[in-house]
Amino acid sequence: MRVRKMTENKTPNAQKTQILTFPYRRTGMGGFDDTILISFHSRKVMKSMLRTSRTGHHGNRLYRLLPARYLMYEVSRSNGGNLYCTISIITVKEDGGIVREKEWEVVREKEQILQLEDLPKEIQEILLSNKDSLPLFEYVFLQDLEKEE
């Protein structure tokens, strides 16, 4: 994760916007990497810009954020089909620093480490309300979604 500072605002009480950059990958063999940030305040996925190479297989996802707490959904799938997912609570500080307050490893390779119900209630609700915007969500929480049906 790389952080770049935006141009500082000139008004006295305005907060500085920070730019966070995360790697993105989508291969023709099934490989995939992406990071989605969700606001705790609005409980919605943050708007981002995806910049990819000409082929569209590699690139970066950029977020322009105010200092605050965010839920970070990181997902990766290897070309061989191994799945990885980590959910974190991060704080973006005014100086551009990032603090990971809490982290849950959900899936590692073929092993389901945590179920959706193992996460705190607020995190469960935020993830479920945004599941259509979270890549590979149906694979990460496959057993949980089967129970709902």
Q: What is the pLDDT of residue 87?
A: 98
Question: What is the residue-averaged pLDDT of the chain?
Answer: 88
Helix ranges (H only) for the chain are: 121-129, 137-140, 142-148
Q: Given pLDDT bands bounded at 50, 70 and 90, which one contains residue 7? A: very low
Query: Do 143 and 112 touch, CB atoms closer than 8 A?
Result: yes
Digit-coded pLDDT (tens) for 42-80: 999 999 999 999 988 999 999 999 999 999 999 999 999
pTM: 0.85
| Among the ranges given (34-38, 90-94, 110-114, 145-149), the one the predictor scored with the smallest mean pLDDT | 145-149
Provide the pLDDT for residue 148: 53
Least confident of 14-23, 96-105, 129-138: 14-23
Residues 6+ apart with CB under 8 A from 21: 1, 2, 3, 4, 60, 61, 62, 63
Domains recognised in the chain with CATH numbers:
2-141 (2.60.40)
pLDDT at 16 over 80: yes
Rounded to the nearest 10°, the torsion over CA 11, 16, 17, 19 is: 140
Checking if the pLDDT of 4 tops 60, the result is: no
